[in-house]
Structures are given as C-alpha cells and as structure tokens.
Amino acid sequence: MQRGLSLFFLLCLLVMSPGWGTAEEGRPILAVRVEGIISASTAEFMVSAIQRAQREKVEALVIELDTPGGLDVSMREILKEMLGSHTPVIVYVSPSGGRAASAGVFITMAAHIAAMAPGTNIGAAHPVNMGGEKMDKEMAKKVVNDAAAYLRSISEQRGRNAKWAEDAVRRSVSATEKEALQLHIIDLVSPSLQDLLKQVDGRLVNTSGGKITLHTKGAPVKRLEMSFRDKVLKIISDPTIAYIFLILGFYGLFFELSNPGSILPGIVGGIFLILAFFAFQSLPVNYAGLLLILFAMILFLAEVKVASHGLLTAGGVISMILGSLMLVESPVPSLRISKVVIFVAVSVTTGFFVFVVAKGLRIQMKKPTTGREGMVGEIGVVRSRIDPEGQIAVRGEIWTATCDQAVEAGEKVRVIGVAGLKLRVEKE
C-alpha cells in the first residue's frame, strides 16, 4: 500500500514538472509599429524597444516600418542599437502602400532579416541638408560620400546588395518589393506578419552575440505601443504642430505685454513657446526664419503702442510671411510646415492687427466728446440777442457767445471755436 502511494506521488510530480505532459511554449515575438518621420522621439522609442527586446530575451523584435525618412542623427542612434543587438531584429516594410525611403533604407538594410509587404517600395536615400542653410558643392560631396560608405558598410555586413545601396544614396534609385527581392536588397516578401513569422522560422541569423536559429512559427506576438509620453513627443515634433505652438506662444506673450497683469496669457504663451523650441531642436530649423517671426511680433506689438498708420503692421505681415516660409526648410514634405497652416496663421494675425489698427485710427480721428474741443460743432439756441455778444444754451448749459453778425433770440447757432470761457459761433 505504502509503495503504491509513493509511485502515485512520483507520477504526479513528473506530470506537473516543466516540459512533461505539455509542449514547451516558445519565447514571444516583440512587435512595434513605426510610422511617419524618423525624429528624435521616434529614435528614443525604437532604441528603448530594442533594449527591451534584449532585456526580456524575446525570440525576435519585429519593426513594422512605414517612413518617408527623417533626421540623420536620429537614424544613426537607431542603427547603432540595431547593429549591436544580441536579439534578432526583423524590419518589415508594411502595410501595402507603405515605404522605406531615405533613413528608412538604412534601417531596413541594417536589419538581421529585411522583408516587405506587396505594394511597398524602398529607396531614394540621397542625403539632404537638414540644417536650413545651403550646402556648397564640396560639402555636399562629402556628405554624400559619407552616407554612401555608411550604407555600403551596413549592406556588406548583412550580406545584401552593396552596389544598389550605394546607388540609392548617390542616384536616389528606388525599387518595388519584387525588384528588391530579385536584387537581394531584402530577404523575402510577405503579405502579413503571421506569414512572415512562418517564413523566417528556422533561419540562422548572425547577431552581435553570435549565431541564432529563429523559432518564430506559432510564437505569441506581444505588441509594444508608444507610451503617452512618446506619443506626445511625436505630435510635438511635427513641424506644423511646432509652428502652431510658436504662433500661439507669441500671441500669449503679446496679450500679456498689452495687458500687464493678465497672467494667464503669459503662462499659456510661455508653455507653448517652450514646447515649440523643444520641437525645433529635432527639426531642420532655419533660425533666420525664426528671427523674422519674432521681429514680426515685435512690430505688431509696437503698432499697438505707436501710431504708425499701419506701416508697422505691414512690415510685420511681410516679416511673418517670409519667416514662416523659411522656418523649416527640407526637401522631405513631411518635414515641412503646411502652407495652408501658414496662410491661415498669417491671415488671422493680419486680420487681427488690421482690426486693432483700424480701431485705433478711428479713435484718433474721432471728434472729441468732452472738454473744450468737444464743444466745437455743437448746435446751440440763442437765449439773448447776440450783437456781437450774447448768451446761448448748448448741451443744457448757458454760455457766453460772440458772433460776427447779429443773431436774434431763439435762432440756432453752431459753435466754431472756444476762447477762454466764451464760445465763438456762427449762424446755423
């Protein structure tokens, strides 16, 4: 009996022990989606994803990529982390209609496994100046040579078409997903993430930590979403949003300076300006454009304080238009400020200050309603005959008045001047 119980407990322990009775579950796949321009916030998110994949020892990290390109500095931060990763990194250009252009080419070529969805494209990696000023011919040549050598080195390290990679930089060539597969730019074409994981199952990849065989078929996929902070930083880093924050910030300071002690406009304006300048540190900002916008706001503020009959407002409008167009200069459409937003901002600002100036001019030209000057033009009734002096009733008051001609009591006269405590009038 005792022996039977011992065997029963031993059998239970064996069944309950790991790997007995049930198949061992594979390590999960970590997946992240990266869309839009490669900015400082995007780089921070991708770097943290690669570090987390290594920390959690997942089977692989899949980066679903769709980008028109972005900043060289941010791109290089991502590439350093990818090239030094012990965890296999799979870059999947998707969905259909997506692309990996400019910086996206570098990121795709640096992956341990590169894949594309049907209807996507890759290429056009010619470097462009993101600093706002023109590059001279010699400097442009150096930048192109540096980028070409960098991408060629990455391609050779990953065993991909280094000749095409160099042409993508020097000649801005592009390729569809089918052409990319034929030219050995990528490793495979896949219509979905699940199909991709089936296709790469069993492949041997060479990471910085050594060779690893992938076991991805049927592996659970764990998605890593951007945190609230990352999403906010990504929104702020959009050039159009940064421009709107800049204009709102200047408006806030303008109202605070126009009405000292309001407090709230100054606080809100300061917050918007800080957010705008935070975004500008990761954008191709031309500071001449920023100074022109600042100068425009100074001119607008001066218009309220100084009677220039609209000249300061006209100068402010011109300065704001030029500054807005110059503020962010980039050949990449996603890194430029929307011209519609510029038009609306300039129109609203111009309309507001034209309204303020027009109001001011009307007030300046308006006839005084109080004091001696306010009496000129008023109509009065003669109380006692004026010849040449008499009394009139005007505004409910009795005044002594003089006139060049005799005026009888009861007749109306118009005030044409004030001399001391006497009014000069003429017959109405």
What are the residue boundaries of the structural domains of the chain, listed by start? 26-227, 238-365, 373-427
d(Cα 161, Cα 181) in Å, to the nearest integer?
10
Token code pair at residue 398: 């009795």
Give the angle subtended at the CA of 404 by the CAs of 400 and 405, to the nearest 5°. 100
Query: Running along the chain, 428 residues long, what does each successive block of 10 average in pLDDT?
Result: 48 42 63 90 93 95 93 91 95 96 94 97 77 62 90 94 94 95 96 95 93 93 88 82 90 79 86 87 80 87 72 86 83 74 86 69 59 76 88 87 88 86 86
Kindly report the CATH number that applies to the domain delimited by 373-427. Answer: 2.40.50.140
Tell me which residue of 338, 252, 250 sits closest to 295, measured CA to CA.
250
d(CA 408, CA 374): 25
Q: Is the pTM of this model over 0.85?
A: no
Q: Which residues form the catalytic set?
A: 102, 142
pLDDT per residue as tens digits for the range 143-182: 899 999 999 999 999 999 999 999 999 999 999 999 999 9
Q: How many CA atoms lie within 13 A of 66 on its CB side?
A: 11
Q: Please, is 8 exposed, middle or buried when counting C-beta atoms within 10 Å of its C-beta (0-12, 13-18, 19+)?
A: exposed
Residue 198 and residue 211: Cα distance in Å, rounded? 19
What kind of architecture, by CATH, is found in domain 26-227?
A: Alpha-Beta Complex (3.90)
CA 82, CA 104: separation in Å to the nearest integer? Answer: 13
